[in-house]
Amino acid sequence: MKTMNYIYDWLFKLYNVFAGFLVYAVSYFIPIKDMIFLVTALFIADVLIGSWKSIKIDKMKFEPKIVWDKTMPRWLFSVIILSFLFASDKVHHQDYIKTYYAGGYFISGAIMLSIIDNMIEITQWGVFKGLKNIIGKNVEKQTGEKIEKNETEK
């Protein structure tokens, strides 16, 4: 019975260590939670509108494998990059320009342009063409990077 109490106490302490580490990690990244929620919502909207486009225009059925093979790694990579940019700014006490804001602008803008491209193909509505130009120029102004598809992707 003494051995069981020892094992139970050891496991309980180990659980407390992991729970404390998890709470610390989550609380460290709380300042970028809004940006991560926005990127997640944009990825979900991109999947929904991309699925709608593939059903309506390409006459394909929805395949979850494509979402798990392409979209989920991109989402995870985006969240990891934003987290690393935030941590880098905090560790180096860099307050002049917040690099995680620039990364968030660029990622959000790229996803919005993907959504708008799909909406242009679905609806052929000119308003989406104007939105695409506005968002592209805003992302270019904020980040200095031009978002444009290659000729092979068109």
Residue 138 zone, left/alpha/beta (φ > 0; ψ -120 to 50; rest): alpha
- The answer to whether the beta carbons of residues 141 and 132 sit under 8 Å apart is no
Cα angle, residue 62 at apex, residues 59 and 63 outer, rounded to 5°: 125
Return d(Cα 85, Cα 98) in angstroms, integer: 8
**Which residues in the chain come in under a pLDDT of 70?**
1, 147-154
For the chain, the structural domain boundaries read 31-143
Q: Which amino acid is at 10?
A: W
- Long-range CB contact pairs, 45-51, < 8 A, 24+: 45/115, 46/71, 46/111, 46/114, 46/115, 46/118, 47/71, 49/115, 49/118, 49/119, 49/122, 50/114, 50/118
Report the pLDDT value the prediction gives residue 151, as an integer from 0 to 100.
39
Instruction: Output the pLDDT for position 117.
Output: 84
Largest Cα–Cα distance in the chain? 76
Give the tokens for residue 10.
């050891």
pLDDT reported for residue 7: 80
pTM for this model (two decimals): 0.71
**pLDDT of amino acid 154:** 43
